[in-house]
Structure 1
């Protein structure tokens, strides 16, 4: 009998990825371009900006300070702030995002003196064609996926990474769980993806046969709540 589980997992991942692409490449590009710049934003979005800055610093602190000679995948690079910091620390960066529009913004923002250290691509962050890496950083790139999808993603990335995969999830806080259930109950006309909250301990159990997860800490800033984790195959 045909094993349908891998097929269903792939379909679920592809469907979510397509929603994420549609949202960031067509609906929210200008919002994210402004949010990731120093342009004035609303008070609420300022807390999100500050939270993302704190999370980026937390995730980068889990990597070696000197990245010269290291090849790093910035999986879901967005408008490129993490890419710039990785390249400034000497890394050879593969910066990939599902949204071509955001990749274009990241390319325009990259300082000239770092251009020989960064390769940009638009497409699936799990593509084997991207090659092998010393480390992977995936900030808020897996927050829309199910536990099964995350396990499969970490397994795929871990197979091509000799060091760590540092990533984030939306934690299972009362606020986020309430928002999640509300999002499940009402239709979303803008087709924006819905974050799926996860508990670090449960995720660690889900991936125990392919690797280990370490909790790096949580950042809470207004409406921005995110949990940093480290995976090693």
Structure 2
């Protein structure tokens, strides 16, 4: 499946089906026990990703690729970054815009659309938290090649690892799709992603930083740098 086809499925899910779910998950509202583990895992992963960037981001332009409800964008702006917050879901962009603290209004620009759009310009760093988890290795490799050509510093991203549990969930999702279920995550191996990125023309190095395992949230932080 092409990047565009996968993006279309993800857009349909997040903008028509999951907006309320993700808005609640990324707030302080009470959630189920399962979703509490996901919330805790995402909080931990956000901290891991932020640890890979300079504490002082003043004057730096950072792309929050797949910003969702805007938690990462707020954290980046608090460090002084000029944030381009992009998400495929206009509905989630509105949630993120409403939640942005007033004192950070001048630091964040929101855009609904494709995170790979060349018109977004060049960046000092890119963060892509859980926004590439539905794409296959070739699609992620092409994304890294496209972004890598426009980034001076680091691309910090997450992917689902190829664990036994995630492979079982992946297989079940492929065999028994439901219209109300999210697009199926594609488990990845770092070595295979690195090869796919090289085949796509990416010149940098891809390395594994840390895996976060919190109940139903299992994700690996990767870093791409030239």
Taking structure 2 as the reference length, the TM-score comes to 0.96
Aligned partners of 1:74 and 1:94 also within 8 Å: yes
Q: Match of 1:128? A: 118
Aligned partners of 2:142 and 2:196 also within 8 Å: no
Q: Please report how far the alpha carbon of residue 184 of structure 1 lies from its aligned counterpart in structure 2 after TM superposition.
A: 1.2
Q: Match of 2:185? A: 195
Of 53, 58, 61, the match for 2:43: 53
How many pairs align? 223
CA distance, structure 1, for counterparts of residue 138 and residue 195 of structure 2: 12
- Name segments (4+ residues, structure 1) moved above 3 Å: none
Aligned partners of 2:138 and 2:197 also within 8 Å: no
Secondary structure of the structure 2 residue equivalent to 1:190: coil
Q: Match of 1:218? A: 211
Is 1:230 matched with 2:220? no
Is 1:40 matched with 2:33? no
Q: Please report how far the alpha carbon of residue 191 of structure 1 lies from its aligned counterpart in structure 2 after TM superposition.
A: 6.0
CA 1:191–1:224 in 2, change beyond 3 Å: closer, same or farther?
A: closer
Secondary structure of the structure 2 residue equivalent to 1:187: coil
Is 1:180 matched with 2:176? no
Q: Please report how far the alpha carbon of residue 141 of structure 1 lies from its aligned counterpart in structure 2 after TM superposition.
A: 0.5
| Mapping for residues 22-41 of structure 1, pairs under 5 Å | 22-41=12-31
CA distance, structure 2, for counterparts of residue 31 and residue 188 of structure 1: 17
Of 180, 200, 204, the match for 2:194: 204
Q: Please report how far the alpha carbon of residue 128 of structure 1 lies from its aligned counterpart in structure 2 after TM superposition.
A: 0.5
Deviation string, structure 1 residues 128-177 (Cα, Å, up to 9, x no partner): 01110000000000000011100100000001101111000000000000
CA distance, structure 1, for counterparts of residue 24 and residue 177 of structure 2: 27
Unaligned runs of 5+ in 2: none
Q: Match of 1:157? A: 147
Of 158, 172, 194, the match for 1:168: 158
Of 89, 99, 106, the match for 1:116: 106
CA distance, structure 1, for counterparts of residue 15 and residue 127 of structure 2: 21
Taking structure 1 as the reference length, the TM-score comes to 0.93
CA distance, structure 2, for counterparts of residue 117 and residue 178 of structure 1: 42
Aligned partners of 1:78 and 1:97 also within 8 Å: yes
